A and B are shown apart, each in its own frame.
Chain A
Amino acid sequence: MRDHQVTDRRSFFTTAAGATALGAAGSVGCRQPTVSHEDKPGSGMRLDFVAHGSNADAFWGAQHNGFMDFCAAYGIHGRFLGTRLDGDIGEMLANLDSVLSGPGDGLTLPISNANTFTEPIQRAIDKGLAVVAVNIPDFRPQEERLPYVRYVGGEPIATGEENARMTVKAFTKLAGRAPKRAVYLNHVPGVEVLDYRGQGMQTVFDTTGTQFDTLVIHSDPASAQDTIRAYVRKHPDLETIQTGNSRPAAWAIQALREMEQLGKHTEPFSAGRIYVGSIDIDPELLELIAAGECLGTIDEQPYMQGWYAAQLLYHWIKYKFIPGRDISTGPLVVQEKTLVESLIEQARQGIRA
């Protein structure tokens, strides 16, 4: 037998062995999706949640928990598809394509960009899927809006406005005036909802005469803190820091504490101290609020968003029930000590984020 024939045969068998191993591994790992209990009211129904964030993130984790808890309670086959990177529209749309190429009864998703989602949502509706928007709506006027059933969630611009109002009110109570300068930390540049939150803050701070900047920071805490420290040193008139998420608020508080410039709302006002106002919740941030180191946060109640999104779909698909208007889950100001302490345990369970 010639050498190349030996090589060819060996190559074939090597490749085949690898392929067989792969196939065997795949077969062992495969399972059919969990079948819903026949005695539950949602048995046989399939609902999908396609998100632009990861369940590893507390916010999307709470959305996931709310959605999947409702599905489990009603015996529905629920599926939550997130992305590895926050705000990755490309991966989100790839997941959406996978959903639309299989069977399903209902779909819920944030409308991260109305132009981008016009065609896939229309495809979903043409396929017979019920569609509910969650977390981010189509901001266009009703007559131009995407034809989803209803929207459930907060309102990003109003969330930003509420964050700024909460900060101005708390700061004015301490100092007797509005802050001279505020900065908004954007920790995931390019994510539209964070931009909208910043716009809301700008609107409020413009009315109080506060100088307002947006500072792009890294999503890595150490790098983010370097940037925050540099900004603080450069702007001695900075009096408040706003964040679009609870994690950068915690990073900012730690950096300010180390610089001995952290303002606490449980102590008398002191010039040169900087106060922090946040959006979204995690257990650490709630403890910081309870300790007086954070002015407060704005809760969109993402667990409720996930839960109600599934419930809206279920009721529409099964009974054609529909509420008279969209369901608002926020913004809710989290500031009072007793409210904060009751939320800490819920945040640890992934119900609050």
Chain B
Amino acid sequence: MLAVFVLTALILATQSAQFRGLENATAILTRSAEIGMIACGVSLLMIAGEFDISVGSLMVLAIYVFTGLTNLNMSPITAMSLAILAGALAGLLNGLVTLLLNIPSFITTLGAMLFWRGIVIYVLAGSFMSYQGDPQCLAPFGSLLFSHCRASVVWLVVVASVLQLVLVRTSFGNWVFAAGGNVQAARNIGVPVHRVKLTCFALCGALAALAGVSYVARYKTMQVSVGQGFELEAIAAAVIGGTVLSGGRGSILGTVLGVLFVSMIRNGLIHLLDSSYLHYPVTGVLLIIAVIINRRISSLTN
């Protein structure tokens, strides 16, 4: 993946002078921040053998909770914490329904995706909501650090680093791989599979909520259409980054690379071909190529 990323960056840089600058590189990083946080959670859950396609709707839920509570004069820090907690609890609920009722996670979270976004649309009666709290409180997420790089990028780096360390250096991380690789074998060696998966579901929801808070910090508005399609973009980035759909294999850093890669393609095509739409078919093709390459590598190592 790294080789593909570097080669693509070189090609785009040689083809377009606009692509080469620091401003553009930092714009790509900033664009990747929220989707990257979501993709990290989705990837972790995929490694554990489950899916969550409600992440876009959980992001909207968190935005609504955060914006609504701050507009009611609650402290932004408290509102932020409650929004992330709401995301974690919604993720946990996804996990409980999936594991206790033995429903495929794709179906559970499909229902959750419709439920949470629909509830917010209903409550807002189709309207929008602007953040009316203290803008200074949003600085830890939304402030410009240098060029086009925002503080949200730092959060992505922290989240990705912590998750990667947990995955590769802790027993919990081993359990995640085991639970996703072979559930029965994992149980046989004493891995608390349900507990591991529930934790991953909750983390995934919390990260979607964190992305929602970051969104408000940047855009200072709440729209119910936010995050539509983010679940597919996150899964695509995870797969392009090497996470296997069947579970048991993957890397958070690979996922972040996948997110950056997709953002780079989107950005590069704007500079090269003056189009903001071409990256959709291109990303689709790249996703299929990535799966083919991943399968080839998997069969060789097996």
A338 at the interface (CB under 8 A from B): no
Cβ contact within 8 Å between A95 and B270: yes
Shortest distance in angstroms between B39's beta carbon and chain A's nearest beta carbon?
15
A317 at the interface (CB under 8 A from B): no
| Contact with A31, one of B21, B223, B272 (Cβ below 8 angstroms) | B272
With known contacts A26-B12, A101-B24, A7–B301 Cβ distance under 8 A: yes
Q: What interface size band does chain B fall in?
A: 35 or more
| Contact with A15, one of B4, B23, B127, B272 (Cβ below 8 angstroms) | B4
Shortest distance in angstroms between B240's beta carbon and chain A's nearest beta carbon?
11
Cβ contact within 8 Å between A100 and B223: no
Cβ contact within 8 Å between B23 and A101: yes
Cβ contact within 8 Å between B148 and A100: yes
Cβ contact within 8 Å between B220 and A113: yes
Q: With a CB–CB cut-off of 8 A, which chain B residues contact A113?
A: 130, 219-221
B245 at the interface (CB under 8 A from A): no
* A97 to B26 CA separation, bound complex (whole angstroms): 9
Cβ contact within 8 Å between B296 and A14: yes
B293 at the interface (CB under 8 A from A): yes
* A119 to B220 CA separation, bound complex (whole angstroms): 11
Interface members, chain B 20-38 (any A CB < 8 Å): 21, 23-24, 26-27, 30-31, 34
Main secondary structure of the interface of A (DSSP, over half): helix
Cβ contact within 8 Å between A186 and B31: no
B194 at the interface (CB under 8 A from A): no
Cβ contact within 8 Å between B273 and A31: yes
Q: With a CB–CB cut-off of 8 A, which chain B residues contact A23?
A: 7-8, 11
* A232 to B24 CA separation, bound complex (whole angstroms): 52
Main secondary structure of the interface of B (DSSP, over half): helix
Shortest distance in angstroms between B117's beta carbon and chain A's nearest beta carbon?
10
Shortest distance in angstroms between A2's beta carbon and chain B's nearest beta carbon?
13
* A115 to B222 CA separation, bound complex (whole angstroms): 12
Shortest distance in angstroms between A259's beta carbon and chain B's nearest beta carbon?
24
Cβ contact within 8 Å between A98 and B297: no
B286 at the interface (CB under 8 A from A): yes
B161 at the interface (CB under 8 A from A): no
Interface-lining segment among A166-174, A190-198, A261-269, A273-281: A190-198
Cβ contact within 8 Å between A14 and B3: no
Cβ contact within 8 Å between A189 and B121: yes
| Contact with B225, one of A21, A99, A116, A188 (Cβ below 8 angstroms) | A188
With known contacts A16-B3, A98-B27, A103-B18, A93–B219 Cβ distance under 8 A: yes
* A8 to B218 CA separation, bound complex (whole angstroms): 43
Interface-lining segment among A75-83, A287-295, A305-313, A324-332: A75-83
B177 at the interface (CB under 8 A from A): no
Which residue in chain B gives the minimum CB-CB distance to A119? B144
Interface members, chain B 91-150 (any A CB < 8 Å): 121-122, 124-128, 130-131, 144, 148
With known contacts A82-B276, A85-B229, A22–B7 Cβ distance under 8 A: yes
Residues 190-227 of A, flagged 1 when their CB comes within 8 A of B and 0 if not, give 11100100000000000000000010100000000000
With known contacts A26-B8, A214-B126, A116–B24 Cβ distance under 8 A: no
* A89 to B272 CA separation, bound complex (whole angstroms): 23
Residues 1-44 of A, flagged 1 when their CB comes within 8 A of B and 0 if not, give 00000010011101110111111001101110100000000000
With known contacts A14-B297, A115-B220, A190-B126, A98–B8 Cβ distance under 8 A: no
Shortest distance in angstroms between B278's beta carbon and chain A's nearest beta carbon?
9
With known contacts A11-B297, A30-B272, A102-B271, A85–B228 Cβ distance under 8 A: yes
Which residue in chain A gives the minimum CB-CB distance to B230? A90
Cβ contact within 8 Å between A30 and B124: no
Cβ contact within 8 Å between A216 and B31: no
B175 at the interface (CB under 8 A from A): no
Residues 206-249 of B, flagged 1 when their CB comes within 8 A of A and 0 if not, give 00000000010011110111101100000000000000000000
Q: Which residues of A contact B (CB under 8 A)?
A: 7, 10-12, 14-16, 18-23, 26-27, 29-31, 33, 54, 79, 81-91, 93-95, 97-103, 113, 115-116, 119, 186, 188-192, 195, 214, 216
Q: A23-B11, A29-B273 are in contact. List 7 more A-B contacts (CB 8 A).
A: A15-B293, A22-B8, A31-B272, A85-B225, A97-B30, A103-B18, A190-B127
Q: Please provide the 4 A-B residue pairs with the shortest distance between their CB atoms, ordered closest to farther.
A: A102-B18, A189-B126, A216-B126, A101-B24
30 examples of A-B residue contacts, CB within 8 angstroms: A7-B300, A10-B300, A11-B300, A12-B3, A14-B296, A15-B3, A15-B293, A18-B4, A29-B273, A31-B273, A33-B274, A85-B225, A89-B223, A89-B226, A90-B34, A93-B218, A97-B31, A100-B27, A101-B27, A101-B148, A102-B24, A113-B130, A113-B219, A113-B221, A115-B130, A189-B124, A190-B124, A190-B126, A190-B224, A192-B223
